[in-house]
């Protein structure tokens, strides 16, 4: 049975949402994708309300097994980090109200899981998302492709039967693909940084 994952690339201006079904054999299929957007000129309370209404409708429509949300990390622009964190909080609360588990993945983990390199460009991630999901081109805008990448990452690594998380496979284990080794190393580095 497929694991239904909603990936969320949080943001106040563009919050990417993707629904991906991941089968035990790792075959991933895109179910739906969208972006909830608000104008920077809109008052903050209204921006957060728009995201809340968008994620509520999305979760009610798609009934996922789990949410995969991009983990907020330090950037140079504090206001961008704050907006991302606020949007993430809205999404996490919406999931909690429905009893849907939430997993957080760093951008480096996602890049490594999808492309094999934690340093991959957005374009490389989009290209691999399209290939994995058997699409002619990556979902647009990039926030939608990033949300799909988050869903794929969690389905492959977070909770799908036979995934690393369910078997306890580590970065040094034999039999891993280069992408699996890169992902495990990125995850270990993230844990070390706290």
Residue given tokens 């990452």 in the structure block: 153
Is 45 an annotated catalytic residue? no
Structure tokens at 52: 């809340």
Whether 45 has a binding-site annotation, put simply, is no
143 appears as a binding residue in the annotation: yes
Two tokens, residue 55: 């994620």
Determine phi and psi for 35, rounding to 5 degrees. Answer: -130, 130
Which residue is associated with the tokens 């990448």? 149
H helical segments located in 7-159? 44-62, 78-97, 107-115, 122-132, 142-153
Q: Are 48 and 60 in contact (CB under 8 A)?
A: no
Catalytic residue, from 21, 70, 146, 187: name it: 70
- Exactly one of 21, 65, 143, 146 is catalytic; name it: 143
Residue 70, annotated ligand binder? yes
Catalytic residue among 9, 65, 109, 146: 9
Give CA–CA dist 136/134, Å, rounded. 7
Residue ranges of the annotated binding site are: 9, 70, 143
Q: Which active-site residues does the annotation give?
A: 9, 70, 143
Residue ranges of the annotated binding site for Mg(2+) are: 9, 70, 143
């Amino acid at each position: 049975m497929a694991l239904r994952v909603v990936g969320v690339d949080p943001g106040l201006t563009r919050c990417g949402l993707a629904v991906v079904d991941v089968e035990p054999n790792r075959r991933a299929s895109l179910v739906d994708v969208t972006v909830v957007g608000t104008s920077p000129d809109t008052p903050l309370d209204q921006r957060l309300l728009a995201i809340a209404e968008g994620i509520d409708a999305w979760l009610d429509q798609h009934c996922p097994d789990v949410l995969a949300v991009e983990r907020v990390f330090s950037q140079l622009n504090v206001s961008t980090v704050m907006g991302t964190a606020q949007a993430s909080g809205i999404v996490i609360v919406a999931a909690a109200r429905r009893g849907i588990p939430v997993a957080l993945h760093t951008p480096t983990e996602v890049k490594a899981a999808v492309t094999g390199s934690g340093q991959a460009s957005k374009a490389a991630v989009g290209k691999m998302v399209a290939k994995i999901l058997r699409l002619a081109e990556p979902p647009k805008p990039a926030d939608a492709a990033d949300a799909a990448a988050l869903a794929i990452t969690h389905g492959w690594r977070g909770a799908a039967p036979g995934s690393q998380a369910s078997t306890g496979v580590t970065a040094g284990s034999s039999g891993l693909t280069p992408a699996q080794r890169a992902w495990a190393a990125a995850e270990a580095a993230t844990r070390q940084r706290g």
